[in-house]
Chain A
Amino acid sequence: MTRFVVRRFLQALIVLVFASVFTFLIFQVIPNGNPALRLAGRTATPMQIAAITRAWGFNKPVYVQYFDTMEKIFTGTVVSYSQQVNVLSQIRQGLPATASLAIGASILWLLWGIAFGLLSARRPRGIVDRVLAAFSLTAISMPVFVVGSVLLYVLAFRTSLFPNGGYVPFSQSASQWFLHMVLPWFTLSLPAAGFYSRVFRSNLLETVHQEYVRTARAKGLSRRRVVLGHVVRNSLIPVLSLWGLDFAGVIGGGAILTETVFNLHGIGQYAASSIQLLDVPPIMVIVMYAAVAVVIIGAVVDVLYALLDPRILLNA
Chain B
Amino acid sequence: MISPGRSWREFPQRYRLEAAKCTECEKVLYPPRVACPKCGGTTFEDITLPREGKVVTFTIVRVPPAGFTEQTPLPIAIVELIDGVRIMVQVGDLADPSELEIGMPVRLEFRRISSDGEAGLIFYGHKAVRG
Q: Do A and B belong to a common assembly?
A: no
